[in-house]
Structure 1
């Protein structure tokens, strides 16, 4: 019974603190009274549910929500932080790997998304390193979504023996 109270309890505490701080109007906190902060609060509640209640399947949504919320706060404050789809895939990979750590499932997906995020985030550098293959790789890069469709179709429709 106690385990089912963690998530709603954390949501109520987090939202209560959020709205209380918003009402007392502290000027230095004004930039944080936005929807990404609410994502972080919900993500943290999921993470408490995942780790505190040993409901390990809550780790993935907790990591995604908290990670996306942090991204939206950081992206406009730090010049070095990438505003790129690769960062979202990296957050997803991190969530899958954290969930794998506790459940033993999701390693393949986590590693696949981690590799994809690295390729997306560092595409320009990777192409620079490959130099002599640049034109061939650039042409092949246009068709990488088809590779994902094929791998996804294989995973969905080809049965394990």
Structure 2
């Protein structure tokens, strides 16, 4: 019964602090009173439930919500922070890996998303490092969606354990 108090307790504490800071105009960070902060509060509540209440199913939504909120805070304030869709894939990959670590289950989803995230975030650097030409990749670009979808169909319908 004690575990069921963690999520609502953190939600109420987080939003209470949020509204208190807003009421007294105490700004900790520029642009603090916006939707990424709300995502961080809800994500922190899920993570508190996951680790404090031993509800491992709450790790993934906690990491996704907190990480997404943190990402949108950092992208506007840190010049080195990438503003790429791959960062969101990276956040989901971290969530899968953290959940797999805690539940001692397979981490293949996290590893696959991590690889895709690294490729998307560092695409330009990888192309130049391996000496690949943009034209060769541009010519093959129309076929990549079919390759990815084919791999998904294979995993879903053809591959059996």
Q: What TM-score comes out, normalization by structure 1 length? A: 0.91
Matched residues in 2 for 1:105 and 1:116: separation? Answer: 21
Q: How does 1:82-121 map to 2 (within 5 A)?
A: 82-121=82-121
Q: How does 1:21-32 map to 2 (within 5 A)?
A: 21-29=21-29, 31-32=31-32
Q: Note if contact 1:38-1:69 (Cα within 8 Å) is conserved in structure 2.
A: yes
Tell whether 2:30 aligns with 1:19: no
Tell whether 2:7 aligns with 1:7: yes
Q: Note if contact 1:96-1:106 (Cα within 8 Å) is conserved in structure 2.
A: no
Q: Note if contact 1:39-1:68 (Cα within 8 Å) is conserved in structure 2.
A: yes
Query: What displacement does 1:29 show?
Result: 4.5
Aligned to 1:60: 60
Change (3 A) 1:63 1:28: closer
Aligned to 2:125: 125
**Structure number having the greater helix percentage:** 1
Q: Provide the aligned length of Structure 1 versus Structure 2.
A: 161
Query: What displacement does 1:77 show?
Result: 0.7
Q: What TM-score comes out, normalization by structure 2 length? A: 0.91
Matched residues in 2 for 1:37 and 1:20: separation? Answer: 14
Matched residues in 2 for 1:70 and 1:83: separation? Answer: 12
Matched residues in 1 for 2:69 and 2:132: separation? Answer: 40
SS at match of 2:131: helix
Tell whether 2:146 aligns with 1:150: no
Per-residue CA distance 1:34-79 (angstroms, 9 max, x = gap): 1100000000000001111111110000000000000110101111
Query: What displacement does 1:2 show?
Result: 1.0
Matched residues in 2 for 1:99 and 1:139: separation? Answer: 38
